[in-house]
Amino acid sequence: MDSRQEQIQGRTTMSEHAAVDQEASNARRGRGASGGAAARRAARSGGGPGTQLTYIKRKINVYEVLDEEGLALIEKNTDTVLEEIGIIFRDDAEALQLWKEAGADIKGERVHFPKGLCRSLLKTAPSVYTQHARNSERSVQIGGNATVFAPVYGPPFVRDLDGVRRYATIEDFQNFVKLAYMAPSIHHSGGTVCEPVDVPVNKRHLDMIYSHIKYSDKPFMGSVTAPERAEDTVAMAKIVFGDDFVENNTVLTSLINANSPMVFDETMLGALKVYARHNQACIVTPFILAGAMSPVTVAGTLTQVLAEVLAGASFTQLIRPGAPVLFGTFASSISMQSGAPTFGTPEPSLVSYGAAQLARRLGLPFRTGGSLCASKVPDAQAAYESANTLNSTILAGTNFVLHSAGWLEGGLASCYEKFMMDIDQLGMTQKFSEGVDLSENGQAMDAIRQVGPGSHYLGCDHTQANFQTAFYRSNIADNNSYEQWLAEGEKTAPQRANDLARRWLESYEAPYLDPSIDEALKDFIAKKKGSMPDAFT
Amino acid sequence: MDSRQEQIQGRTTMSEHAAVDQEASNARRGRGASGGAAARRAARSGGGPGTQLTYIKRKINVYEVLDEEGLALIEKNTDTVLEEIGIIFRDDAEALQLWKEAGADIKGERVHFPKGLCRSLLKTAPSVYTQHARNSERSVQIGGNATVFAPVYGPPFVRDLDGVRRYATIEDFQNFVKLAYMAPSIHHSGGTVCEPVDVPVNKRHLDMIYSHIKYSDKPFMGSVTAPERAEDTVAMAKIVFGDDFVENNTVLTSLINANSPMVFDETMLGALKVYARHNQACIVTPFILAGAMSPVTVAGTLTQVLAEVLAGASFTQLIRPGAPVLFGTFASSISMQSGAPTFGTPEPSLVSYGAAQLARRLGLPFRTGGSLCASKVPDAQAAYESANTLNSTILAGTNFVLHSAGWLEGGLASCYEKFMMDIDQLGMTQKFSEGVDLSENGQAMDAIRQVGPGSHYLGCDHTQANFQTAFYRSNIADNNSYEQWLAEGEKTAPQRANDLARRWLESYEAPYLDPSIDEALKDFIAKKKGSMPDAFT
């Protein structure tokens, strides 16, 4: 508790410091100009990132795999699980006390929920919220028809630009933050884009949060590996945004995994409580390898997922009614031969689609999917699996997409080349989400009349007027002739992605950060680090 | 006309011959045993193809991108195109005469259609038909909730198992037929799986049709490169199935491309007339590279596609009311930099979804999509693009899927490795199409009760009872640990696909074909070939 108190003290000091700059900081939030300049320069040098896109506002329909009867059946079964089997809240006396007061039946650490309790609590959770970025142009809507793409989360390894697979470092971490900052189709800086294994594990979160703030102006995620690290995250956010702003708004969206099946552990509950108390968003996510952490069937998995989310998400409302919380689902299956997780296969897609439907009925923003794969290299397997996952992610109507880019090896490695290929796919997804333009220009009747039978549209007025925006332009795909491709060195997609990543990193320029905020952040980190011995486990 | 008469004579002779064997042949159609034996032996030797799947009976919803208003708008615009702009039927006096008699307004070669004429004619076209295979277990339903996968069609090149890109040969053709025969998730042998460039162009179709009959027992497509080649196809089908059977059933589904924009040429019309007259199915397909053959917008492209399909498909009903005809769409865009076709991008997906909706409203079976890509090698680009195309293909509710496997280089090359990777994806698609199992076993409540919080499902009764069928098993994906993957030689997906293709081809065994039918086919081919000089252009 001593370190907590110290943190809270430190936070207060820092917050006062930050308050001085808040007005200026707020004014700056409209800028984003330096990012634009870097983008423009990179674009001029060829293969630059291009114009930043705001989060996706889907104009397309969602795809659904369950009808009303199926949804009602799963919800009924979920009520049975919650009431009869219950969910363990492990090593957290406060949580058990809160649940008791709320009317749950506590047996040991197992919480049994009377029918309707969780749903009733969730009525105070918002279906849509804004996560503010320090550049207000990069603030994102989470929920409703919005989709937000965030990078890969969690890998201890990287596959680097020399094709070497090794432990990740803080430099890699910063590189991925930089690439995500530059990527037009990445709307969110994410969290642990890779584990900076060269930094002591108890201090790592400070450098990670600082990197997100320093090297990007997109919104980011908080540390969840210990409650005090969550507190540090909130404290650093207050330096940037100011105390009041943080308490009254949401500037962090953080990942709270259930320990499936049907357990929330003290680490995750501790982080959840910190974020919820400060009005910051939690993504309550059953991390499911079906066949191991859930039943081998889709309907069985959905039942357990819904039970875990109902318990964990409604717990945030016991902490602070109105705190944003997402319905998360990480869906994978295991190989029945080896027990290894598999990705991009049919069953997790069905789980994602079904879970999205359950989330909509609950009125919570939904997180699933990304560009998931089991491949060890950015090859065809990686791409098939990632594309399958991403297609179901977007059509499910997912609101927050972690692991959108860079994920390799079932999440064990962050891969630069795959990151660049994936963001190209995200751009396509964003274009697809605009749906069909039915305006007069979209109908193109004048073009059809002008061209007529047996001619071509290449030079017609309508084509000339629309060719800049008509089709998505990939910066990875090679659509040239075989002969031209040969002449250009027979490069594969990952090789082209490698070239692009190098060019982007060379042309990167950090977005403006008020020097006094930067200093305050550095002071905070120095003090925190000075108070702790190095720990590597 | 001489060669036509000769053909017809030849056909009659052969048909009589065939009639003798018809009863036996019909009896045999229930077998498929030899294929099963080969599959079982290959399976025993490891990595074999496994059990043949029947065509997909989709239990999942279709995905739609247009609402009623959008559909009605496009249909209205289409009526305008058909009436005011018209469609050219080139160098085909018979077609123009038929259209005149049907009530169209003919100006030169341009046919202007009074509102409602095409739709009215299409009332006789079936919304669902059966394409019979010589093994009745392999017969397919085309239309309704069925989806049928057929291989790549048309490439003059192959990328072979030694990684060499070269002109295709008849041996390659046979290899792809063999692989498609063995592939559980390929339901149809297709047509020009590659162009056997080593066979004279005027004789090639005979060897191709023979290969489909000899090396597979799945349904196949007919030649469309000249009306007399279509006649040869029908004649050979009659040898296999008998005259009456062919005239009263459908044993061929063949590809009739529009010469977009808004032209049908004499070659395609000639083939269409042959097939329709014999009650054989035509896939009337606007082959669209949007921006060149159609407007750059999705709605404009859909309008033109619908106009071309309405004109071409309804023409089949002028030839023979009731002849099966499909609403085809080949959707691609062009790169606005190079003019090269691009695949797997958002706009063609929107076109496919929209066209599928228009086809359903018209009551015609629908063809689009496949595993399309522009990549020159089976790399990540190939896989992303193919997966994007295949995902939209299946969710659109496509009934017949050409280019399902093996397509590379925008259709210029058939690739063995990609074929093997694609069929794995098709298998996943088929599993996905089964949707969510909501049976008591699917609900898995006993499993959730048995396992409870904090345990795992690996050994529970429900997992044991279901693990064989619970999850799709890929024979291409490597889901093992990085260390195991290293130890096994760091193979990429195409390398594993290469191994698999070699093993399959080694273990291939032809399905049973009645020797007298085989002889009759060979005689027919020898006579036809003897009547023609070699032509290579």
Per-residue pLDDT tens for B126-149?
999 999 999 999 999 999 999 999
- Model confidence at B336, in pLDDT bands (50, 70, 90)? confident
CB pair distance less than 8 Å for A381 and B298: no
pLDDT at B135: 97
CB pair distance less than 8 Å for B476 and A381: yes
Q: Report d(CA B126, CA B362) in Å as an integer.
A: 11
Chain A interface test: which of B443, B456, B478 (most A C-beta within 10 Å): B443
Question: Over chain A, what is the mean pLDDT?
Answer: 92
Average pLDDT on A43-60 reads: 79
CB pair distance less than 8 Å for B64 and A61: yes
The answer to whether residue A8 scores a pLDDT higher than 50 is no
- Cα of B512 to nearest chain A Cα, Å: 34
Q: What is the dihedral of CA B519, B520, B522, B526, to 10 degrees?
A: 130
The answer to whether residue A7 scores a pLDDT higher than 90 is no
Average pLDDT on A377-400 reads: 98
Chain A residue at shortest CA distance from B474: A345
pLDDT at A336: 82
Say whether pTM exceeds 0.90: yes
pLDDT at B50: 81
- Cα of B29 to nearest chain A Cα, Å: 33
pLDDT at B337: 80
Contacts of B168 (CB under 8 A, 6+ apart): B155, B156, B157, B158, B194, B195, B196, B197, B414
| Better-scored residue on pLDDT, B133 or B19 | B133
pLDDT at A468: 87
The answer to whether residue B32 scores a pLDDT higher than 50 is no
Chain B residue at shortest CA distance from A417: B380
CB pair distance less than 8 Å for A479 and B342: yes
- Model confidence at A3, in pLDDT bands (50, 70, 90)? very low
pLDDT at A47: 55
CB pair distance less than 8 Å for B479 and A335: yes
pLDDT at B37: 52
pLDDT at B508: 97
DSSP conformational letter for B149: E
Chain A interface test: which of B73, B343, B379, B498 (most A C-beta within 10 Å): B379
- Cα of B464 to nearest chain A Cα, Å: 9
CB pair distance less than 8 Å for A296 and B470: yes
The answer to whether residue A513 scores a pLDDT higher than 50 is yes
CA distances (Å), origin A221, targets A134, A169, B55, B137 = 13, 19, 46, 55
- Model confidence at A37, in pLDDT bands (50, 70, 90)? low
Q: Looking at beta carbons, which residues of chain B come within 8 Å of A164?
A: none
Picking from A432, A438, A457, the nearest residue to B349 by CB comes out as A432
- Model confidence at B534, in pLDDT bands (50, 70, 90)? confident
Q: How much of chain A, in percent, has pLDDT values that exceed 90?
A: 88
Picking from B429, B431, B442, the nearest residue to A297 by CB comes out as B442
Chain A interface test: which of B394, B457, B462, B467 (most A C-beta within 10 Å): B457
CB pair distance less than 8 Å for A471 and B438: no
CB pair distance less than 8 Å for A263 and B291: no
The answer to whether residue A406 scores a pLDDT higher than 50 is yes
DSSP conformational letter for A52: P
Size of interface A-B (CB pairs under 8 A): 408
pLDDT tens sequence across B274-309: 999 999 999 999 999 999 999 999 999 999 999 999
pLDDT at A50: 81
Picking from B296, B385, B428, the nearest residue to A463 by CB comes out as B296
Q: How much of chain B, in percent, has pLDDT values that exceed 70?
A: 91
Question: Are A170 and A198 in contact, with CB atoms under 8 Å apart?
Answer: yes
- Cα of B534 to nearest chain A Cα, Å: 29
- Bridge partner list, A468: none
The answer to whether residue B23 scores a pLDDT higher than 50 is no
- Cα of A315 to nearest chain B Cα, Å: 17
Contacts of A437 (CB under 8 A, 6+ apart): B297, B298, B299
Chain B residue at shortest CA distance from A410: B479
Q: Looking at beta carbons, which residues of chain A come within 8 Å of B298?
A: 436-437, 442
Chain A residue at shortest CA distance from B305: A448
DSSP states of B463-497 as a string? HHHHTTTSS---SS---S-HHHHHHTT---HHHHH
- Taking alpha carbons only, the member of B216, B183, B166, B143 closest to residue B405 is B183
Q: Looking at beta carbons, which residues of chain B come within 8 Å of A454?
A: 88, 90, 259, 261-263
Chain A interface test: which of B308, B391, B479 (most A C-beta within 10 Å): B479
The answer to whether residue A347 scores a pLDDT higher than 60 is yes
pLDDT at A33: 39
pLDDT at B477: 97
Q: Looking at beta carbons, which residues of chain B come within 8 Å of A474?
A: 342, 345
Q: Looking at beta carbons, which residues of chain B come within 8 Å of A298?
A: 436-437, 442
| Interface ipTM | 0.92
- Taking alpha carbons only, the member of B119, B300, B221, B520 closest to residue A438 is B300
H or E segment to which residue B206 belongs: helix B204-215
Contacts of B390 (CB under 8 A, 6+ apart): B369, B370, B371, B404, B422, B425, B426, B429
CB pair distance less than 8 Å for A463 and B421: no
Chain B interface test: which of A260, A376, A431 (most B C-beta within 10 Å): A376
| Sign of the C-alpha dihedral computed for residues A240, A246, A252 and A254 taken in this order | positive
Chain B interface test: which of A457, A498, A500 (most B C-beta within 10 Å): A457
Q: Report d(CA B193, CA B155) in Å as an integer.
A: 7
The answer to whether residue A168 scores a pLDDT higher than 80 is yes
Average pLDDT on B332-350 reads: 93
The answer to whether residue B26 scores a pLDDT higher than 80 is no
pLDDT at A23: 33
- Model confidence at A55, in pLDDT bands (50, 70, 90)? very high
Chain B residue at shortest CA distance from A344: B428
CB pair distance less than 8 Å for A296 and B63: no
pLDDT at B505: 98
CB pair distance less than 8 Å for A263 and B339: no
CB pair distance less than 8 Å for B453 and A374: no
Q: Report d(CA A496, CA A477) in Å as an integer.
A: 8
CB pair distance less than 8 Å for B490 and A63: no
The answer to whether residue B271 scores a pLDDT higher than 50 is yes
- Model confidence at A45, in pLDDT bands (50, 70, 90)? very low
Question: Are B271 and B313 in contact, with CB atoms under 8 Å apart?
Answer: no
The answer to whether residue A95 scores a pLDDT higher than 60 is yes
CB pair distance less than 8 Å for A494 and B379: yes
pLDDT at A1: 31
- Cα of A365 to nearest chain B Cα, Å: 22
Chain B residue at shortest CA distance from A486: B376
Average pLDDT on A290-307 reads: 97
pLDDT at A30: 36
Q: Report d(CA B398, CA A25) in Å as an integer.
A: 53
Picking from B262, B350, B380, the nearest residue to A494 by CB comes out as B380
Average pLDDT on A360-386 reads: 98
- Model confidence at B51, in pLDDT bands (50, 70, 90)? confident
